[in-house]
Structure 1
Amino acid sequence: MNSTSRSTDREWWKEAVVYQIYPQSFNDSNGDGVGDIPGIIEKVDYLDALGVDVVWLNPVYESPMADNGYDIADYRSIHPEYGTVNDWERLLEELHDRDIRLIMDLVVNHTSDEHEWFQRSRRGDPEYEDYYYWREGDPEEPPNNWESFFGGPAWSWDDEREAWYLHLFDEKQPDLNWRNPDVRDDIFDMMTWWLDKGIDGFRMDVINLISKTEGLPDGETGTPTIGTEHFADGPRLGEYLDEMNERVLSNYDVMTVGEMAGGMTAEDAEPYVGEDGPLSMIIHFEHVHADVGEGGKWDVVELDLDELRSSLHDWQTVMAEDGWNCLYLDNHDQPRAVSRFGDDGEYREESAKMLATFLFTLQGTPFVFQGQEIGMTNTTFEDPEKVRDVESKNFLNAARDRGESFEDVRPLLEARSRDNARTPMQWDDSEYAGFTDGEPWIHVNDNYTEINVEAARADGDSIWQYYRELIDLREEREVFVYGEYELLLPDHDDVYAYRRTLDEEALLVVCNFFEGEPTVELPVEDANLLLGNYPDLPDEQNDEIELRPYEARIYER
C-alpha cells in the first residue's frame, strides 16, 4: 500500500479542531429571528465544553444579504442585525479568554453592488472605474459566454454606466478586478486592520477565482459552469497570493484557509500550501463530488466510495511531505453529511459517529459545522416559500422555465439546497428549537424535538459525547495529528480503512460506509480497540472483522 511521510513542522493550527459558526442561524439573543453576535457570546461556554480550539465565523460584515453576507457592503462594519463592533470585540475577548482562537471569513473575489467602491465605479469615478470588470457593447449581447455559479450568465448590464459587469455569483456580487494594484492595496489594508484587532487568521472565500484569463475569452461549452477554465486557478493567482503573504500574512502567526472552487486537485494545490506556500491549507471539493453526476451539483447520484477514497487518498499522499489538509464533510454550502453520506433514518447515530471517526482520524485539521456534533439532518420543503437560498431559488426558477413544477425538483432541493445547512441550530425541544423567541428567518427542521443539544448532552452515548471523545483523543495522542497515513483495502466496495503511525504508536481505522455487514481481514489480532461507534464492542479480536451497518472502529497497537 502507499504510505506517506509526516511533516515534522509543528503548528498550532495543525493540532486544532475548528468549529464553524453560521451566525444567522446559530443563536438569536434579541428575538428578531436572526442569529447574532451576542447570541454567539451566550454560547461560548458551550464551545468550550465541546473542546474546540478555533471558531471560523462566517461573514458578519455590513451587507444587503443577497447571499447571506457573502455580498459585503463594508468590510470594516458589522451588519446591524448581528450587532456592533463592540459586540464583536467582546466575542473575540470571550473566545480568547477560553483559549479559543477566531478566524474571519475573507470575501475578496467580489463585493456587494452596494459597496462604495462599486457605487463609485458605476458612476465612472476615475479613482474607482477600474475596480471591477466592465465591458461596453450591445446591451443584448454579453461580452462572453461565461456562466455564474448560481446559474445564468455571469454578466449583467448596468444602465448607469451603460456597460456590462462581471459577477461569477449573484448579480449583486460584482467581481473585483485584482489586476488593478489599487484594489490589492485596499484589500491588504483591510486585512491588516482586522489582524491588528487580534484575529487569528482568515478563511478565504473562493480565493482561486481572483485571477481571470487576459482578454476574458469564451469558455468551452458542455461543462457544468461555462468559463471555469478561464476564472478558476487563473494565470496570476500565485502572484496575488504571494503578494498577500509578503505584505500581510507573513507579519502574523495566523491560520489561512483558502477555499478553492472549480476542480482544484491536490497536485494543483501544492504551490499554495506548505513551508513556502502562502496558505496553511485548502478547502477543496473533490471528495464532496463523490455523489455528484456529470451534470453538476443538482445531478444527484449514489455515493461512489471508490471516488471518495481515491480523492482523499490523493490529498493525504500529496500533502504529506510539505502541506496540510482541511478535513470537512459539512459546511454552510453543503447538505448535512449524515443525510448525504450516512443514513439519517434508522442508522442516524451510527452513521454520524462513523463519519466523525473518519473526519478526526485522517491527516489534517478537522472542521465541525454547527449542528454536525449532534447529527443534524437535511430539512424538508413542503412548499417553495420555504426556500431561502439564492442559488436554490435560481435553480427552482430555471426548472419552472423548463416547464417543471416545484414537486418535480423538490427531491433535488431536499438533497442539495444550501438551506439544509442553514436551518437554525437545534438547542432544545422548546418552540423554534431554542434558537429564538421570535419568528425565525428560516424554518426550523421538524425533528428538533428529538435532535437537539440539550438531549445530546444528557445522553452519555450520544453523537455529541462521541465528538467529545474524539476531540480528547486527538488532543492526547499526537499520532492523530502527525502520524503517517497508509491506505488499506484500496478496492473494497463498502469499507475505507487506513493506518496512522508515529514512531512506536499506530492506529488502524476501519469505516463501513453502508448498511451492509461486510467481513474484512485486517491486522488487528494484537491490537486494542480504542474507540467504536457501537456500544457492545467485542472484547477479543482476530484478523477477521465482522462489521455492522455504518460501523467504525479505531484500533491501537
Structure 2
Amino acid sequence: MKKAWWKESVVYQIYPRSFQDSNGDGVGDLPGILRRLDYLKELGVDVLWISPFYKSPGGDNGYDISDYQAIQPEFGTMEDFDRLLAGAHARGMRVVIDLVVNHTSKEHPWFIESRSSRDNPKRDYYIWRDGKNGGPPNNWGSNFSGSAWTLDETTGQYYLHTFGDFQPDLNWDNPAVRQEVFRMMRWWCDKGVDGFRMDVISMISKTPEMPDGERKPGSSYGSFAPYVVNGPNVHAYLQQMNREVLSQYDLLTVGECSGLTVDQACRYANADGTELTMAFQFEHMDLDGGESFKWNTRKIDLVELKALLTKWQKGLEDRAWNSLYWCNHDQPRIVSRMGDDSTPALREKSAKALALCLHMMQGTPYVYQGEELGMTNVPFGGLEDFRDVESINAYHELTANHTFTPQRMLECLRYKSRDNARTPMQWDSSAGAGFTTGTPWIMVNPNYTSLNAAEQLARPDSVFHFYQALIRLRHTHEIIVYGSYDLLLPDDPQVYAYTRTLNGQKLLCVCNLTGRPASFALPAGFAGARLLISVGDAPSLDGQVTLGPWDGFALLQDNAEL
C-alpha cells in the first residue's frame, strides 16, 4: 500500500464559532484558536480542519459564503488567519479549510449580478428555471425544509437551492464557474493551507432534466437525491479540479459525500489519486435514521453497525482510503447517541470504548472538538434554545403538518439536533466554561462545571489522556495505520472485536459497547501478546476474557501465525 502523510495523521475538527472567544463578544474566533494551539499539540493531533470562517451573513453558521477570500469580521482578520496558519505550522500541525462550493450566499456578488437580469453575464453562474403550472419547476424539497426553489420577482424565474433559500446552488456545468472556484482554491493553497474538506461535494453536478422526485417522509416535497447526489458530471469536474489545482500541491482532500456506496467512494478517493484523497460516507450515521429522516430517538444496533463498518473497511482495502469518525458539526454527540451519559463514570468509560473501537481501524481518524473530553448532548429547553436553521425549520414544518406534537419534536431535537455539537467548548469550570467572558451565542452545556478540559488535563485517567494515548499509538505502530482488517464475532450483540494484520504482526481490538458484562474468547495466537491500551482494568489474558460494561482493550502480537 502506498504510504502518505494524510493516511498517518489524526485530524481535529474545529467549529470556530464555538471553540474559543478571544474578545468577549460570545463568538469564537481565529485568535481564540491560536490561543489553544498548545492544547491541540499536547493532544497530539496532526491536522486541524477549521470549519468556515469566511465572510458570510451567517444564515447557516458560515456555510453561506458571500466572499471566499475574506474573513467574517466576528472571526477576526486575514492577518489573524495568517498568524494561526503560521502558529500551527510552527508546531508541526497542518491546516485544512472548508471548501463550500455547491452553493454560495445570495449576498455573494456573483448571485447579486446573476439575479439582476436574464441576460447578465453571470446569469448562468446559478441554476435558473421557469416555473411550471403556476409553481416551482419541480417538487423538490430543500434539505432545510420547504421547496428547493425560490421565485425571483425581478426576472420571473426560480433559482435552485438544495439547502436554505439564502444558499443558491452554483451551476458547475458552466466552465466559468469552475475556473472561478479553481482560481480561489489556488489562492488559498499558495497562502499555505494543507488541504480542503469539501462540503456536499457529491452534489455539484445536477441531472439537467430535473424531474419530480419521490416524496420524502413527513413532507409534501419530493427528494432531489437521485438527480443531484453523485450526478452525471461530478467525477469529470473533480478530475479537472485535481489536474488544475490539487495535483499541484501536497494536500489532504476529503469530500463530504452523502448517498455514497463503496464503489462510488472508490471513484472519489481512488488509489490512483485522480480525484480526492478520501471521502466521508454517512451510512453508519443513517443506522438510526440520522441522514434519511433523523427526527427520532432510536439507538444504533451494534450488529448492524459492525456489518456496515466492516463493509467499508474491506470494500476500500487497497482501492481507496477510509475516513473514520463518530462526530462532526452536523451530528449529535456520540457519547449520548451510542454510549451512556447517565453518570460521569459511564460517560467516561463509554467515550473511551467508542474511541478505542474507531481509532484502531484502518483509515484517517477525525476528532471533533470536545469529543476528546467526552462532551455530551445538551439539555435544551424550548425551541428558543436552538440556533440551527435545520432544526428550527423542521420543528415548524413537522409540528404544523402534525407529524409530531411539539413535545415529541423537542425530544427529537434534543437527541439529534446539530446544535448538540455546536455548544461552546468546555475549557474550565469558570463562568462561560472558559469559552467566553461575555454572553455565548448559544447556551453552554450545564455539565461544564465538572466536564471540562482543565479538569481532564490534570487527571491521568481522563478521556483526554485516553485520546492522547490512542493518537500516540497510531503514530508508533504502522499496523494501526496500514494493517488489513478482519471482523470477529459478527453476530455478537455486545462485543465489537476485530484484528489488524501487517508484516508478521497481528493486532486485536475488543470493545464491549454495552452497559452489561460480556465475555470474549481470546483467539489462538494471542497468548503472550502485548497489551497496548485498555478501558477498565487490564484483562486477564488466559483464554476467556470477562469484560465489564464498556470495557475494551487492544493487544499486539509481534510473531503472529498469519
Give the counterpart of 2:95 among 99, 102, 110. Answer: 102
The answer for the alignment partner of 1:537 in structure 2 is 538
3-state SS in 2 of match to 1:412:
helix
Report if the CA contact (8 A) 2:433-2:449 is conserved.
Answer: yes
In structure 2, what is the Cα distance between the partners aligned to 1:443 and 1:268? 39
**Residue range with higher mean Cα deviation, 474-483 or 524-533:** 524-533
The answer for the alignment partner of 1:235 in structure 2 is 232
Q: Does 1:190 align with 2:184?
A: yes
Deviation at 1:520, TM superposition (A): 2.2
In structure 1, what is the Cα distance between the partners aligned to 2:405 and 2:17? 30
Report if the CA contact (8 A) 1:101-1:200 is conserved.
Answer: yes
The answer for the alignment partner of 1:5 in structure 2 is none
The answer for the alignment partner of 2:374 in structure 1 is 375
3-state SS in 1 of match to 2:124:
coil
Deviation at 1:408, TM superposition (A): 2.6
Alpha-carbon displacement from aligned partner over 1:491-545 (angstroms, at most 9, x marks no partner): 11111110011112221001111111121223143323221111x324x412212
In structure 1, what is the Cα distance between the partners aligned to 2:242 and 2:205? 16
* Uncovered stretches (5+) of structure 1, i.e. residues with no partner: 1-7
In structure 2, what is the Cα distance between the partners aligned to 1:212 and 1:83? 36
Alpha-carbon displacement from aligned partner over 1:178-199 (angstroms, at most 9, x marks no partner): 0011100100100011101010
In structure 2, what is the Cα distance between the partners aligned to 1:86 and 1:59? 16
The answer for the alignment partner of 2:516 in structure 1 is 516
Report if the CA contact (8 A) 1:139-1:157 is conserved.
Answer: no
Deviation at 1:135, TM superposition (A): 1.1
The answer for the alignment partner of 2:450 in structure 1 is 450
In structure 1, what is the Cα distance between the partners aligned to 2:19 and 2:291? 34
Report if the CA contact (8 A) 1:71-1:112 is conserved.
Answer: yes
Alpha-carbon displacement from aligned partner over 1:244-274 (angstroms, at most 9, x marks no partner): 001110101100000001x211122111113
Q: Does 1:552 align with 2:545?
A: no
Aligned length: 547
Deviation at 1:222, TM superposition (A): 4.7
The answer for the alignment partner of 1:53 in structure 2 is 46
Alpha-carbon displacement from aligned partner over 1:5-25 (angstroms, at most 9, x marks no partner): xxx211000000100000000
In structure 2, what is the Cα distance between the partners aligned to 1:249 and 1:355? 34
Report if the CA contact (8 A) 1:293-1:300 is conserved.
Answer: no
3-state SS in 2 of match to 1:39:
helix
The answer for the alignment partner of 1:272 in structure 2 is 268
The answer for the alignment partner of 1:112 in structure 2 is 105
Give the counterpart of 1:134 among 112, 121, 128. Answer: 128
The answer for the alignment partner of 1:19 in structure 2 is 12
In structure 1, what is the Cα distance between the partners aligned to 2:128 and 2:513? 48
Q: Does 1:324 align with 2:299?
A: no
Report if the CA contact (8 A) 2:299-2:337 is conserved.
Answer: no
Deviation at 1:353, TM superposition (A): 0.1
The answer for the alignment partner of 1:3 in structure 2 is none
Kindly provide the amino acid, as one letter, of the partner of residue 109 in structure 2.
Answer: E
Q: Does 1:220 align with 2:243?
A: no
Deviation at 1:139, TM superposition (A): 8.8
Alpha-carbon displacement from aligned partner over 1:368-426 (angstroms, at most 9, x marks no partner): 00000000000011121111000000011113313555323111001100000000000
Report if the CA contact (8 A) 1:211-1:237 is conserved.
Answer: yes
In structure 2, what is the Cα distance between the partners aligned to 1:441 and 1:179? 38
Q: Does 1:180 align with 2:174?
A: yes
Q: Does 1:74 align with 2:67?
A: yes
Alpha-carbon displacement from aligned partner over 1:34-67 (angstroms, at most 9, x marks no partner): 0000011110111111111000000010000000
TM-score when normalising by structure 1 = 0.96
The answer for the alignment partner of 1:91 in structure 2 is 84
Report if the CA contact (8 A) 2:288-2:294 is conserved.
Answer: no
TM-score when normalising by structure 2 = 0.95
Kindly provide the amino acid, as one letter, of the partner of residue 260 in structure 2.
Answer: M
1:381-400 to 2 correspondences below 5 Å: 381-400=380-399
The answer for the alignment partner of 1:31 in structure 2 is 24
3-state SS in 1 of match to 2:376:
coil
In structure 2, what is the Cα distance between the partners aligned to 1:63 and 1:512? 44
Structure 1 residues 94 and 474 mapped into 2: Cα distance closer, same or farther (>3 Å)?
Answer: same
Kindly provide the amino acid, as one letter, of the partner of residue 89 in structure 2.
Answer: H
In structure 1, what is the Cα distance between the partners aligned to 2:431 and 2:175? 51
3-state SS in 1 of match to 2:331:
coil
In structure 1, what is the Cα distance between the partners aligned to 2:503 and 2:132? 66
In structure 2, what is the Cα distance between the partners aligned to 1:413 and 1:25? 19
* Uncovered stretches (5+) of structure 2, i.e. residues with no partner: 558-562
The answer for the alignment partner of 1:289 in structure 2 is 286
Structure 1 residues 234 and 295 mapped into 2: Cα distance closer, same or farther (>3 Å)?
Answer: closer
Kindly provide the amino acid, as one letter, of the partner of residue 358 in structure 2.
Answer: L
In structure 1, what is the Cα distance between the partners aligned to 2:374 and 2:271? 36
3-state SS in 1 of match to 2:158:
strand
In structure 2, what is the Cα distance between the partners aligned to 1:50 and 1:37? 19
**Residue range with higher mean Cα deviation, 39-48 or 291-300:** 291-300
Deviation at 1:487, TM superposition (A): 1.1
Report if the CA contact (8 A) 2:399-2:409 is conserved.
Answer: no
In structure 2, what is the Cα distance between the partners aligned to 1:408 and 1:273? 40
Kindly provide the amino acid, as one letter, of the partner of residue 400 in structure 1.
Answer: T
Deviation at 1:428, TM superposition (A): 0.1
Report if the CA contact (8 A) 1:292-1:300 is conserved.
Answer: no
In structure 2, what is the Cα distance between the partners aligned to 1:548 and 1:147? 47
3-state SS in 2 of match to 1:130:
helix
The answer for the alignment partner of 1:488 in structure 2 is 488
Report if the CA contact (8 A) 1:456-1:463 is conserved.
Answer: yes
Structure 1 residues 167 and 400 mapped into 2: Cα distance closer, same or farther (>3 Å)?
Answer: same
3-state SS in 1 of match to 2:230:
coil
- Identical aligned residues as a percent: 50
Kindly provide the amino acid, as one letter, of the partner of residue 534 in structure 2.
Answer: G
